[in-house]
Structure 1
Amino acid sequence: MVKFRKYISGITVLASGLFLAQSTVSTVLYSPTYDSQKSIANLPSPVAAVEKTILSPKELIDVNLNTMVTDPVLKNANWGFVVYDPKTKKIISSYNENASLVPASTTKLLTTETALNLLGENYRWMTQLEYSGQVDENGVLNGNLYIVGSGDPSLGTNKAGALSYREIIADFVSGLSREGIKKVNGDIIIQTALFKGNISRLPENVVWLENNNYYLPVGTTREISPANEKLIVKKSNFSTDKKFFYVSPYANQMVYAEKYEGNENLTTKLPDAPAYLANTFRTTLVKSGIAITGKVTPKMTDASPESRKLVSAYKSPTLTDIVYYTNQHSDNSLAEALLRTVGFFRKGDQTSESGRIVVKDHLKDIAFDAEGLNYMDGSGLSRSNTVTPIAQVKYLTSLMNQKYYQTYFTSLPIGGQSGTLKRMFNITGNGQIFAKTGTLNKVKTLAGYIKTNSGRTLVFSLLVNNYSGSVDMVKKRMEKILEPTLEL
């Protein structure tokens, strides 16, 4: 980064000559009340006006970067920034662009793009109702019903336009009516080889609960009754900084967050989707007058499968819809499911480890700059994830030539308008910043694209770790750093 003291000094002299009443250079010196003060007349700073007159947009970016280096919120932080021109393939301005930093949820940029690349924009997950055996003249099925899943991460959630359990079940019941089935002498068998393993331990370095968000494991929770899924919250008796500790209901292991603002108990609503669907389906059949003699039972593998007939098939929303929802809402469970899906697609199993291998192989194939990269999960919850700002911008630049780029670009939140960026860039940059956000405790990140006032498309990455103050303070600095880029 270039030092711009000569510009700052020149501005100070000029400002002093033109505005004798102003005794400090407001853009360089920091006051503790800086974030709460507002101009009485709501007028721009005279020095800021002089800066914009004297300096080019690029010079203003560099002046801002120099200012932020000594800013109380960022001076002891680890952070990096790059704004990049995808046409010239050159860095416009940067700070610590090669620093290996925790990316938080900007990790989802890698996960969702890999899914689009390998699976295709129109990929859908199928959940099918089938039956074995024969239906007699009285409408009695002497055989089993099968719910055959494929790991649909949106099943029953209403996310991305997915149908509710009730709507899917209504279609299943209608299918049985079309087949003339009035009674079932058999079981409802859940058959899916995807996402079948319970998680018995917390994943390494994953933030289980933070800022009042309860992050559930991906996979089945079949052995846990949803009614009993309670989070035990205890205030620490041995910590002077008043941190709160949480005990996972899934494992005898403790994690902590900086603060807790909820009620004493938090509940979850994510049972094992196929099991929940099957049990609710059975209850609905009984209530609607279709008797069933058997029970709901899982069968992950079947050495001698019965001959079966398809009754009904539910298709998930397209991958385009899933990726849009994932990036707009920064949905962790969907991101982790995408990781497992690409793992199954290429490696034949549903483990997160296979997913990580597939993503890293894909990144290698497209010449991703892996220096400083550590890809540990699909969502960015792990603090072991790391990436460099320069790698992110070169990666995002390379995607602009992909056939699915528009789908990918559209999935990103828009500054001041949508998703997790709705409350940032409400004035300057509104509708011009298209980026994935990331937030963990003392981690705030942004990476994406900028549409400048002159019509250029630029690519940027801004990763901040271990800052001081509040997340809102960091957001303001981020907006300040990116503001001059709009004039490029």
Structure 2
Amino acid sequence: MVNFRKYVSTAAVLASGFFLAQSTVSTVLYSQMYDSPRSNLSLPSPISSSAEKTILSAKELVDINVNTMMTDPVLKNATWGFVVYDPKTKKVISSYNENTPLVPASTTKLLTTETALNLLGENYRWMTQLEYSGNIDENGVLNGNLYVVGSGDPSMGTNKAGAWSYRDIISDFMSGLSREGIKKVNGDIIIQTALFKGNIARLPENVVWLESNNYYLPVGTTREINPANEKLITKKGNSSSEKKYFYVSPYMNQMVFAEKYEGNGTLTTKIPDAPAYLANTFRTTLVKSGIPVTGKVTPRMTEAEPENRKMVSAYKSPTLGDIIFYTNQHSDNSLAEALLRTVGFQKLGDQTLESGRVVVTDHLKESDFDMNGLNYMDGSGLSKNNNITPISQVKFLTSLMNQKYYNTYLTSLPVGGQSGTLKRMFIGTGNGQIFAKTGTLNKVKALAGYLKTNSGKTLVFSLMVNNYAGSVDMVKKRMEKILEPALDL
């Protein structure tokens, strides 16, 4: 784009600055003249020189950059919204389409993780216990069953957030049996995970099954499926005008349309049935270590007449604060969905997606969240049926600044130029000053969080772009350009 500022006089710049300063935000940011084919108005290019920055205020520079983006080839046909908000004055500094519901992608995790922190506390942990029933005779023979009792730990065996590996957990179980003097198990190894009983359920509408070559599978048991054999099946559509692909989920046996396929046709799931894998590996380890097990590994969700049992060992997951840090830094979909089901179970007694949604939306209502335009479909943001407005995002983030867990929440967010999914954005200007959750789906890019200005103020912002042209990197550069002058507010 030609930089028209090279060809205008300083007086003209001053005049434009005076006009902008006297205008309301909505007038500055939008005029029907911009859409008129008869208009010869040429919008200025984004401000770049230090001389211009001394003439115009930071707010004016933000407004001009937003105006310029309205005609930018990447964004001009997109639906997008932006708000930068002062939490102290409770006023919008600059905005565009702030009341428009937009697809938030993974910035949906902001709602999910905050609800979990609020309802469960940052020190909440999931427990996985080894217990036994029956009695141990003088020869060390357990005449009874071993029980692996789970609670839906989403991090088990993953090494995420400092979680133990399966090998570490099994080693701890083995030490527990040694302390009890058990040398043989004359019984079964029973998996008891009533929290996630019958957890083969439908996913939200319009979910993105394949995004950036990652295949998504919801948290919970997949005991009816062998994860080692699960594959993604691709079928070319019947359209004669262009190539189209359909994905058939072996998890649901349900066909889902997608615009583009970039995989190789074989993607294994990332989430096996964790309790079953743990129990089977534990049994194998026992036998290899010379501790025979006469029975088999079997699931038992509930017991009509529970046996008296003694706890041998208990594994505690990382804290919820640690889990949320990992979730937001890495934008981990499986952990976010597990958090949704956990709050559903803790409040309503079951682990379904529907219960989780009810708990999150009820919590938001009780917190005076602006529900206009909100459509909360899942915990991770994978569904393109999720919707939220930029103004509701910033007011929500503002409301958290007085919460006792705010520092834990803020620390969980990626930092521009430094950590998580923002490590490669704001490498120059804004480095270390942007604390925000990213969101990326096909033709969706979002960013929402907190901004530390050069003068030390904390501002809150939301920037969501739907249906843009060009590449993700192009959108990222324009997001950086819009936010850059806000650092001087």
Structure 1 residues 239 and 403, CA, compared in 2 at 3 Å: closer, same or farther? farther
Match of 1:13 in 2: 8
Letter in 1 for 2:447: L
Q: What is the RMSD of the two structures over their aligned residues, measured on CA atoms?
A: 2.1
Aligned to 2:49, what secondary structure does the other structure show?
helix
Residue 219 of structure 1 and its aligned partner are, at CA, apart by 1.5
Q: Which runs of 5+ in 2 are unaligned?
A: 14-40
Match of 1:150 in 2: 151
Structure 1 residues 334 and 17, CA, compared in 2 at 3 Å: closer, same or farther? closer
Q: How does 1:309-388 map to 2 (within 5 A)?
A: 309-388=310-389
- Report if aligned partners of 1:15, 1:50 keep a CA contact under 8 Å in 2: no
CA distance in 1, matches of 2:386, 2:409: 22
Match of 1:283 in 2: 284
Structure 1 residues 466 and 290, CA, compared in 2 at 3 Å: closer, same or farther? same
Match of 1:163 in 2: 164
Letter in 2 for 1:28: P
Match of 1:399 in 2: 400
Structure 1 residues 313 and 208, CA, compared in 2 at 3 Å: closer, same or farther? same
Letter in 1 for 2:188: D
Letter in 1 for 2:485: P
Match of 1:461 in 2: 462
Match of 1:22 in 2: none
Aligned to 1:230, what secondary structure does the other structure show?
coil
Residue 140 of structure 1 and its aligned partner are, at CA, apart by 0.3
Aligned to 1:262, what secondary structure does the other structure show?
coil
Aligned to 1:66, what secondary structure does the other structure show?
helix
Structure 1 residues 422 and 359, CA, compared in 2 at 3 Å: closer, same or farther? same
Residue 330 of structure 1 and its aligned partner are, at CA, apart by 0.5
Match of 2:231 in 1: 230
Q: How does 1:103-122 map to 2 (within 5 A)?
A: 103-122=104-123
- Report if aligned partners of 2:394, 2:460 keep a CA contact under 8 Å in 1: yes
Letter in 2 for 1:242: K
Residue 211 of structure 1 and its aligned partner are, at CA, apart by 2.4
- Report if aligned partners of 2:106, 2:438 keep a CA contact under 8 Å in 1: yes
The answer as to 2:90 corresponding to 1:89 is: yes
Spell out, residue by residue over 1:420-453, the C-alpha distance to the aligned partner (whole angstroms, 9 max, x if none).
1111111111111000000111110000000111
Residue 271 of structure 1 and its aligned partner are, at CA, apart by 1.3
Structure 1 residues 325 and 229, CA, compared in 2 at 3 Å: closer, same or farther? same
Spell out, residue by residue over 1:198-237, the C-alpha distance to the aligned partner (whole angstroms, 9 max, x if none).
4254432111112211111222111111220111234445
Structure 1 residues 99 and 17, CA, compared in 2 at 3 Å: closer, same or farther? closer
CA distance in 1, matches of 2:201, 2:454: 52
Spell out, residue by residue over 1:359-410, the C-alpha distance to the aligned partner (whole angstroms, 9 max, x if none).
1111111100111111111111111111111111011011000000000000
- Report if aligned partners of 1:210, 1:258 keep a CA contact under 8 Å in 2: no
Aligned to 1:291, what secondary structure does the other structure show?
coil
Structure 1 residues 241 and 150, CA, compared in 2 at 3 Å: closer, same or farther? same
Letter in 2 for 1:308: R
CA distance in 2, matches of 1:210, 1:9: 39
Residue 238 of structure 1 and its aligned partner are, at CA, apart by 2.5
Q: Which runs of 5+ in 1 are unaligned?
A: 1-7, 19-24, 31-44
Match of 1:33 in 2: none
Q: How does 1:63-142 map to 2 (within 5 A)?
A: 63-142=64-143
- Report if aligned partners of 1:84, 1:458 keep a CA contact under 8 Å in 2: yes
Aligned to 2:483, what secondary structure does the other structure show?
helix
CA distance in 2, matches of 1:360, 1:17: 50
Alignment equivalent of 1:28, drawn from 34, 39, 44: 44
- Report if aligned partners of 1:51, 1:60 keep a CA contact under 8 Å in 2: no
Residue 259 of structure 1 and its aligned partner are, at CA, apart by 3.4
Residue 266 of structure 1 and its aligned partner are, at CA, apart by 1.5
The answer as to 2:404 corresponding to 1:409 is: no
Aligned residues: 460
CA distance in 2, matches of 1:108, 1:366: 17
Structure 1 residues 116 and 202, CA, compared in 2 at 3 Å: closer, same or farther? closer
Name the TM-score, length of structure 1 as normaliser. Answer: 0.90
Residue 70 of structure 1 and its aligned partner are, at CA, apart by 1.0
Letter in 1 for 2:267: L
Aligned to 2:447, what secondary structure does the other structure show?
strand
Letter in 2 for 1:420: T
Structure 1 residues 350 and 253, CA, compared in 2 at 3 Å: closer, same or farther? same
Q: Which moved more, 1:130-139 or 1:189-198?
A: 189-198
CA distance in 2, matches of 1:370, 1:119: 23
CA distance in 2, matches of 1:239, 1:84: 49
Name the TM-score, length of structure 2 as normaliser. Answer: 0.90
Residue 260 of structure 1 and its aligned partner are, at CA, apart by 3.4
Q: Which moved more, 1:250-259 or 1:74-83?
A: 250-259
CA distance in 2, matches of 1:418, 1:257: 31
- Report if aligned partners of 2:154, 2:219 keep a CA contact under 8 Å in 1: no
